[in-house]
Amino acid sequence: MMKTLFGAAVMGLMMVLSVPQLEAGVVFDESFDGELPFGAASAPVIWLGPGTNLVRGNTGWADFLELPDYDAFRVGVLAGDELVAASLTVTRTVGTLTSLEWEFTAPSFHVGVGVPSSGAILGGILPLGAGAYSFDSPGMGGEGDVPAFADYEFSFDVRAVPGDIPEPSTLIIWSLLASLGMGLGWWRRRKRAA
């Protein structure tokens, strides 16, 4: 009997440990995760998790005879979450790049910053619910010298929409208690039958 209860307890613990944990935020870094494309239509969707999420990249141009390195991306907010804050930090790395601009779509919003700069963005349209939102290729301004590049970091804060959906840990606890109750009931019936 005790072996059976011990086996059930071990099995329950294994079930708890095998449940995937929600990731607290996402970091997309262009230098590790791959070059971002020119237009939002071909841009990857970076699905944001609860917490602070970062999108990092480098943009600019190397030569007037070549196209600039424009970066576009889309961020996705999952059902049950909302985007509550966003900020952008830009740091000049080479040359005299003086400004960067992105077109944010759905809803339409212009994000333009000087280089260097840091601050909140999208303040007039937040919070945003579930969906995919585009940051289309930036416009650039400079002093006319090349090469001219800047590093940027978008920060997106996502939180779960308040509601009556139980947390995964609550579901696990109630499931374990129910399993324990069923196991004890089965054990008592088996003991009475013997």
Predicted confidence (pLDDT) per residue in 143-180, tens digit: 677 888 999 999 999 999 887 555 666 667 767 777 77
Q: Above 50 in pLDDT, residue 17? A: no
Where does the pLDDT of residue 83 fall: very low under 50, low under 70, confident under 90, or very high at 90 and above?
very high
pLDDT higher than 60, residue 21: no
Confidence at residue 82, expressed as pLDDT on a 0 to 100 scale:
94
Q: What pLDDT shows up at residue 16?
A: 45
Cis peptide before 50 (omega within 30 of 0): no
In Å, how far are 93, 110, 111, 137 from 96, measured between CA atoms? Answer: 9, 22, 20, 19
The Cα 188–Cα 194 span in angstroms is 10
What does the DSSP assignment read for 18-57? HSPPPP---EEEHHHH----SSGGGPPEEEE-SEEEEEEE
Provide the 10 A C-beta neighbour count for residue 121: 22
Q: What is the mean pLDDT of residues 70-80?
A: 91
pTM (predicted TM-score): 0.69
Candidate from 57-66, 96-105, 136-145 with smallest mean pLDDT: 136-145
Average pLDDT of the segment spanning 94-110: 82
Q: How confident is the model at residue 131 (pLDDT cuts 50, 70, 90)?
A: very high
- CATH code of the domain occupying 27-160: 2.60.120
Higher pLDDT pick, 84 / 137? 84
